[in-house]
Amino acid sequence: MSAKPAKRNLDWRLVLRIGRMAVHLLAGMAICAFVFPFIGPEKRNVHVRRWSRQLLAICNVSVQVAQDSAVPLEHGMIVCNHISWLDIFVINALYPCRFVAKAEIRAWPLAGWLVAQAGTVFIARGNKRELRNIFKGLVHALQDGQRVAFFPEGTTAAQGTILPFHANLFEAAVDGKVQVQPFALSYVDAVGQPHPSVDFIGDMTFVQSVVNILDGKPVRARLSVLPPMEGEGAHRRELAEAAHNAIGRALGVLPQAAAPQAETLQEQSA
């Protein structure tokens, strides 16, 4: 008998959180509709950063940047592993970017419209003509001094794994002659273990994922900003592989590279 009131209270807390999130999404839509058309990119980024931080607070998500992180690029290409719909807002809460994302995100209730209004570029799978047009736009944005971000895995992956990187969009950094900076992102619980409510994989819907997070325990997002790589003169496949390896090592998914000193000793002994 005593367990029933606790369950009822939990349901009401979840309803309250869902309500707060819905109101916040509507407020974001109002900003996009009535404020964004009249302000420049810098002021838009201020709104994007503030709104994203407030959304994460509603979702009980705190953000921690690794102490050994590199200095984030003011402009250039950002690439990150992809775990959840939260990824966009974690990055935007710190370093607002113009994102490139799969077309399915546009169908997210309310949030899909919001990320579109924030400047997200959507790519439909298998549409080579659209990809070429988007590629030209990305090169122009990079040359114009913008910070562009995308998830080179192309889809979300469960924590503890990292999928192969698609190399196509790395060509925009080569043509734009800008640096590529990898971000490594993970989500943990209070004891530092991968958080069970965050993975957004398989047949899970956006709404189901939102409920899992709002109904779960507090989440800590850990972001490592890794050293940038030169895009000018590089090959897109080499950039993709280097970024994949750097992120995989930062997440502990791939083995750490040998230290440069050790390699030098081996070369000398040889």
Give pLDDT tens digits for 35-85: 998 999 899 999 999 999 999 999 999 999 999 999 999 999 999 999 999
Phi and psi torsions of 121, nearest 5°:
-105, 130
Give pLDDT tens digits for 173-192: 999 999 999 999 999 999 99
First CA to last CA distance, the chain: 75
Taking CA atoms, 49 is separated from 42, 95, 168, 218, in Å, by 11, 7, 28, 21
The residues facing 224 across adjacent strands are 184
Q: Letter for the amino acid at 114?
A: L
Residue 269 is predicted with a pLDDT of 30
Domain 3-255 CATH assignment equals 2.60.120: no
Lowest mean pLDDT among 22-31, 71-80, 99-108, 260-269: 260-269
49: three-class secondary structure by DSSP: helix
% of the chain beyond a pLDDT of 90: 66
CA distance 37 to 39: 6
Give pLDDT tens digits for 224-260: 999 999 999 999 999 999 999 999 999 999 887 644 3
